[in-house]
Amino acid sequence: MAQDEFLLINKPTEKKYFAPAVSRRTAAIKKAKSNKWYKLFSLLVFFLIWQYISNLNLEHNWFNPVFLPSPYMVLETGYSYLMKGTLFIHIGESFYRMISGFIIGLIVSIIIGVMITSWKWFDNMVTPVLNLIGPIPVLAFLPMFLIWFGIGEGSKISLIAYATFIPMLGYVTDGIRNTDPHLIRSAISLGATPFQVFTKITFKSALPNIMTGMKASLAFTFSALVVAEMMGASSGLGFIIIDSKNWFKMSDMFLAATLIGLEYTIFHGILSALENVILKWKKEGISNAVED
C-alpha cells in the first residue's frame, strides 16, 4: 500500500459539529448586540414621539400644555434640580430604600421558602396566612406600617421588603420543590450531608427560579417605593411626585416618573447581566456539551 493511500485511510476524523457550534455562538453574540441597539433605538423613538406630540399640542392647543410637558422641559427641570444640588440626593435616597428593602425581602423569602419546603407542619401553618394577606395591595398596609414603625426609614424599607417578599416566595418554593429527587438521592448515597445537599443541589437547582423571581418582583419593589415615599418622606423620587401634585408642577412629576423608570431599567439590566453570568450553563449548556 502506498504511503499516500495509508495516510488518506488513517486521516483523523474531524469534528464536524465544532464549526457549527462556534458559528451558532457567534451568531448569538451578534444577535444580542443588535438587540441592544434596537432597545436603545426604541427608547429614542419614544422620547421623539413624546416631544413631537407635546409640540403639536402646544401649537394646536388640544388641551392645556401644562398637562404634558415635553422631554426638553423635563430635562430643564432636572438641570434645575442638579444646580440646586438636590437631584442626586433624591435619587440616592430612593435607591437606598429600594435596594435595602429588596435585599431584605429576598433574604427573608429564601429563608421562609426553605422552611416551608422542609417542614410540612410549617407549610400548613404559614401558607394559609400568606394566601390570605398576599392579595391585599401594598397601599392598604401603608398606614399600618407608619403606625407600627413610625414615619422614619423603618416603615419605608419594611413596606418595600414586604412587597418584594410576597411574590418572591412563590418562585423560591417552586424552585426548591422542582429539584430532581434523583440528584438528591444520589448525593445522599455518596455520603453528602444535608447542608451539602442543599448548597450543592437544591439551591443551585432553584437558582434559575430565584433569578426569575428577582426580576419579576422588581416591579413590585419599585411600586412599593413610590407608595412609601408618598407619605412621611421629605426626599426621594416618590416625594417629588406627591409634592409636585400638591403644587401642580407637572414637569417635576414627569421628571421623577422618568427617573424611576430609568432606575428600574438599569437595575433590571444588572439583574439580567448577573443571571447571564451565574446561569451561563443554562444558556450555553447544549453548546458546551457538543464542543469537546
Per-residue b or e along 49-65, where b marks 16 or more CB atoms closer than 10 Å to that residue's CB: ebeeebeebeeeeeeeb
> What is the pLDDT, as a whole number, of residue 79?
93
> What is the pLDDT, as a whole number, of residue 289?
46
* DSSP secondary structure letters along the chain: --HHHHHHHTPPPP-TTHHHHHHHHHHHHHHHHHHHHHHHHHHHHHHHHHHHHHHHHHHH-SS-GGGS--HHHHHHHHHHHHHHT-HHHHHHHHHHHHHHHHHHHHHHHHHHHHHHHH-HHHHHHHHHHHHHHTTS-HHHHHHHHHHHH-SSHHHHHHHHHHHHHHHHHHHHHHHHHTS-HHHHHHHHHTT--HHHHIIIIIHHHHHHHHHHHHHHHHHHHHHHHHHHHTSS-SSSHHHHHHHHHHHT-HHHHHHHHHHHHHHHHHHHHHHHHHHHHHTHHHHHHHHHHHH-
In 3D space, the residue among 269, 270, 274 whose CA is nearest the CA of residue 40 turns out to be: 269
> What is the pLDDT, as a whole number, of residue 113?
93
> What is the pLDDT, as a whole number, of residue 21?
53
138 sits in the region (left: phi over 0; alpha: psi -120 to 50; else beta) called: alpha
d(CA 110, CA 130): 15
Cell triple for 94: 430612593
Under 8 Å between Cβ of 102 and 264: no
Q: Which residue has 443571571 as its cell numbers?
A: 275
Per run of 10 residues, the mean pLDDT along the chain (length 292 residues) is 48 49 62 74 88 87 84 92 92 93 95 92 92 88 86 88 94 90 86 85 89 92 88 85 86 92 90 85 54 46
d(CA 178, CA 109): 17
Q: Which residue has 427608547 as its cell numbers?
A: 43
In 3D space, the residue among 61, 94, 131 whose CA is nearest the CA of residue 234 turns out to be: 94
> What is the pLDDT, as a whole number, of residue 18?
47
> What is the pLDDT, as a whole number, of residue 63?
82
